[in-house]
Amino acid sequence: MVTKRLVALAGASAFLALSTALGSAASAASPYEVLDLEINEAPGSAVVQDSSGAGHDGQVGSHVALSGSSAFFDRHSPTEGIYYGADHLITIPDAADGSLDPGAGNFSVAIRYRTKEKFGNVIQKGQATTVGGQVKFQQPKGKMTCMFKTPAGTATAGSGTTPLNDNAWHLVVCDRTPTSVTMYVDGQRTGKVNHGTGTLDNKKPWTIGGKLDCDPASGAGADSCDYFSGDIDFVRMSRRLLGPDGTGGTTTGGDTTAPAVTSTSPAADSSGASRTGNVTATFSEPVKGTSGTTMVLRKASTNAQFGGVVTYDSATNTAVLDPNVTLPAGTTFNVTLSNSITDMAGNTLPRTTWSFTTGG
């Protein structure tokens, strides 16, 4: 395994590059001052860290598989009739200071996810009868909706007529104001409802992957355990309106440049590579979606895959593949990065492949 080494200069450079990409000065406050779960922890981690600085870390259930760049939630049919509770969820406890509640003002939630299923509660705070109201993202028939609900009013915006359960990554942003709720999907506004939703403040946790309290015996009813199945890349929350690109900026006239690989180790077409070393790829900008399925090492002569753990170092924009075996000597390998890797604006990395040969 690789231990991340963060030096002050590298950290400052990475922060400046990211701030520039977001069109703001390096000294500006993060737009994700409420919650920023990047979900890039190593497999087996029990906690996903909140990088907003607010300390709202998430507890990882035993059914949730971390890959180093995202979280996978396994499939449970709505008719299965089994209650899994927190085992199927990432749970963020309620904040005593109310910072995780929308209150009466602006509140935005941004998530990046993919699924092939047409059902599932994706993320929520509170449930139908919760005192203080409810926020809920769900995808009936594969179409995402976000709802803000209190006794004073309910407003729900949706992803439109096109289902999102195509197993491709989608960025969904829901902006709530005192008088409206707006949804954006992949940079485009797909729905807006002008309606007040009062003051939303409950004592329930945020749950990612479904609801905490449910009755599997109720089938498809309101209390059924409609667990989400698929991958979630990040979850971010803010009291600023995050807008189409999920940063408070805009996709119109914004970043349309695809990320690129700027360096690799071992270098392309090199020989004498270490048989026990890591394989790395450094990108031209911050990216998302690096995992064991998007960064693959194969023996060139047979196309046999060599497994390993893939992690992402956000300080250096580098994906690291740590092979789980010692590589054979004098053997040529191909490394492939798939086009499921994107930058923060959703621009796709061109499929990239390079080769190297191990030493004796």
Going residue by residue through the chain (360 aa), what tens digit of pLDDT does each one get?
333 323 333 333 333 333 333 333 333 456 788 999 999 999 999 999 999 989 999 999 999 999 999 999 999 887 777 899 999 999 999 999 899 999 999 999 999 999 999 999 999 999 989 999 999 999 999 999 999 999 999 999 999 988 999 999 999 999 999 999 999 999 889 999 999 999 999 999 999 999 999 877 765 555 678 899 999 999 999 998 999 989 886 544 456 678 899 999 999 999 999 999 999 999 998 888 899 989 999 999 999 999 999 999 988 889 999 999 999 999 999 999 998 898 877 778 888 999 999 998
- Provide the CB-side half-sphere exposure for 74 (13 A, CA): 10
- SS3 for the chain is CCCCCCCHHHHHHHHHHHHHHCCCCCCCCCCCCCEEECCCCCCCCCEECECCCCCCCEEECCCEEECCCCEEECCCCCCCCCCCHHHHCEEECCCCCCCCCCECCCEEEEEEEECCCCCCEEEEECCCCCCCCEEEEECHHHCCEEEEEECCEEEEEECCCCCCCCCCCEEEEEEEECCEEEEEECCEEEEEEECCCCCECCCCCEEECCCCCCCHHHCCCCCCCCECCEEEEEEEEECCCCCCCCCCCCCCCCCCCCCCEEEEECCCCEEEECCCCCEEEEECCCEECCCCCCEEEEECCCCCEECEEEEEECCCCEEEEEECCCCCCCCEEEEEECCCCEECCCCECCCEEEEEEECC
The CATH code that applies to domain 31-238 is 2.60.120.200
- Tokens matching residue 157: 């915006």
Coil/strand/helix, residue 184: strand
Q: Indicate the pTM of the whole model.
A: 0.64
The fold adopted by the segment(s) 261-358 is Immunoglobulin-like (2.60.40)
* Cα torsion angle, 302, 307, 308, 312, sign: positive
Q: What is the pLDDT of residue 303?
A: 92
Task: List every span in the chain annotated with CATH 2.60.40.1220.
Answer: 261-358
* Cα torsion angle, 239, 240, 242, 243, sign: positive
Task: List every span in the chain annotated with CATH 2.60.120.200.
Answer: 31-238
Q: What is the pLDDT of residue 315?
A: 83
